Structure 1
Amino acid sequence: MKKTVIFITIFLFIAMYGCESGGGSDTTASSNGTDNEKGDKPTLTLGITPWTSTVPATEIVKIVLKDMGYEVEGTEADLGVTMAGLSKGDVDIFMDYWDPQHKPYLDEFSDSIDVVSTSYDDAARGIAVPKYMEDVNDVDDLKGKEDIVNNEVLAIEESDPTVEEIPKLIDIYDLDMEMTNSSEAAMLAAAKSKIEKEEPVVLFGWRPHSMFHLLDIKLLTNKNAPEVLTPSTIHVLANQELKDNAPEAYAFLRNWRIPIDDIEDMIIKIDNGENPEEVAQDWIDDNQDKIDEMKNDN
């Protein structure tokens, strides 16, 4: 009797263990199947550089991607770190790549970064002065007047490729001037201080930016060296794996396009204290037909 009980106990134990093992496998398979049916999507990381031009498009894309079912994060860093992050896959998307200024970075990482689309083009850049400097309208008009602006062109960080051509322009026009570098905020603060006193000042200017609204400045023409500081084209970049990892997001970004005037209007609103996410949502609400077209993978 004891032997029979022991045998039955062992048999039941083995049977229960087998059922549990089989049940576990079935549960895992079912769980994986459910995940696939849900179409779980990866978390996407957007690179954010410390430029006012980066914010509007990035905020719009964040909202749209979230509406498409993606978790979205942002990581703030300078251009070099952002591009390196894109190459390694730590950053998935960057909305504010400027061509030709940033081309050296893209050349370095071209084997792992895709140029997905063009946001906008004809983004002017160059030497700017206040509009009250009425006798200065071309870079050549600064000749002989260098001392009234302390012989300097105010500019952003020297490490930014955007300003590399300013010394070339100074040499071409044989101006007795030097480029003085600082952050974007410091450059604008210094220019604003001068302009509030209606003193002459020369600074680096570019669109899209609120500086033309804030400071009432003008870009000078560049008749003697039109090949220097040519207008920029702004592109969307992505890590090459985005196309396979998030095909819907990639298809949307491939169709991305926005007018430069819209970007500039949003920059002005944000600089005036409006919430960037709310500004972006307002643009989406006013342009839902365009967003729907971008999301349609033709």
Structure 2
Amino acid sequence: MKIKTIIIVVTLLLSITMYGCVSSSDGSNDTGDNKEEKPTLTFGKTPWTSTVPPTKIAKKVLEDMGYKVKEKQANLGVVFAGLSNGDVNIFMDYWEPQHKHYLEENSDSVKIVSTSYKDADWGLAVPKYMKNVNDVGDLKGKEDTVNNEALAIAESDPAVKDIPKAIDKYDLDMKMVNSSEAAMLAAAKERIDKKKPVVLFGWRPHSMFNQLDIKLLTNNKAPNLFSSSTVHVVAHKGLKEKAPDAYKFLSNWSISIQDIEDMITKIDKGKNPEDVAQTWIDNNQDKINKMKGTN
């Protein structure tokens, strides 16, 4: 009887041990240490210099939060198409009122998440050495000195739509000459280096105000043109459910125009954008923690 009892006890102990091993191996007794992998997030990135610093900063912060992050560079229309169908999750450089129709056309699937900064001024600009030209109206009678041209970025960009309106409003003998941002700035710099008069499209934040020493013209006769902009972060509406902590961080996002402009200037001078972004993060960790909601 004793031998039979011992065999029964040993059998029971072996059964319990094997059950424990099976439970552990199939995950039914998971302690929660294996966290679910976070999704990949895609930023839309336009070729504008103002888009680079905020995108790089947000990318680095989200990577630190455990996300895999991609960047998809395209023009604004393609970025919004991506936001609309979910191929793009986030865009850091949406300007109002210039880009408002893109948001209106995609309002069912794209939403404003936060405001980066307000009072982003833009309009026609001239070198500071053109001391007698401080308002668009001051160009009247001086059009030939600037080759009857207002240099601008691509005609398809909604930001330039007010330039022809201003030319008509002030009855200026000028035309808008469109090209890429780089080509416009190169043409302006060539004239400025020779101290020649020139008119170009300017907006802040941008390094052109430091590198070219230019000034924005006032617009007293038509104040409805070139009104100050507000820059927002926009996202696909599914972001909050897909990545709630990323959404929380972006919903608290803000940055100053001056900080953006300083970073653009450093990047234009050859600094690595990733390094510039990391320096800003290192110098603003309290602000990052506040945006993440961790302090």
TM-score normalized by the length of structure 1: 0.88
Counterpart in 1 of 2:61?
64
Contact 1:60 1:281 in 2 (8 A): yes
Q: Residue in 2 aligned with 1:166?
A: 163
2:80 aligned with 1:51, yes or no? no
CA distance 1:34–1:189, shift in 2 (3 Å): farther
**Secondary structure in structure 1 of the residue aligned to 2:278:** helix
Residues 1:104 and 2:101 are matched in the alignment: yes
Q: Which runs of 4+ in 1 moved over 3 A?
A: 25-31, 33-37
Q: Structure 1 unaligned runs (5+)?
A: 1-22
Q: What is residue 87 of structure 1 aligned with on the other side?
A: 84
Match runs of 1:1-150 below 5 Å? 37-150=34-147
Return the match for 1:266 from 252, 263, 286: 263
TM, length-normalised to structure 2: 0.89
Query: For residues 66 and 176 of structure 1, what CA distance do their matches in structure 2 show?
Result: 52
Structure 1 residues 276-287: aligned runs within 5 Å: 276-287=273-284
RMSD of the TM alignment (CA)? 1.9
Offset at residue 39 of structure 1 (A): 3.2
1:249 correspondence with 2:251: no
Give the distance between the partners of 1:279 and 1:85, measured in 2 at CA.
Answer: 27
Amino acid at match of 1:69: G
Going from structure 1 to structure 2, the CA distance change for 1:36 and 1:180 (only over 3 Å counts) comes to farther
Supply the distance in 2 between the matched residues of 1:179 and 1:296 (Cα, whole angstroms).
47
Q: Secondary structure at the match of 2:173?
A: coil
Contact kept, 8 Å, 2:103 with 2:111, in 1: the verdict is: no
Q: Deviations over 1:6-35 (max 9, x none)?
A: xxxxxxxxxxxxxxxxx7x9966659x688
1:152 pairs with one of 149, 153, 160: 149
Number of residue pairs matched?
275
Pairing 1:221–2:238 present = no
Structure 2, unaligned stretches of length 5 or more? 1-21
Query: Percent same amino acid at aligned positions?
Result: 67
Deviations 1:42-84 (A, max 9, x none): 0000111000000000000011001111111111101000000
The residue aligned with 1:11 is none
Match of 2:229 in 1: 232
SS in 2 for 1:180: strand
Question: How far off its partner does 1:114 sit?
Answer: 1.2
Alignment match, 2:4 = none
CA contact (8 A) 1:251 1:297 kept: no
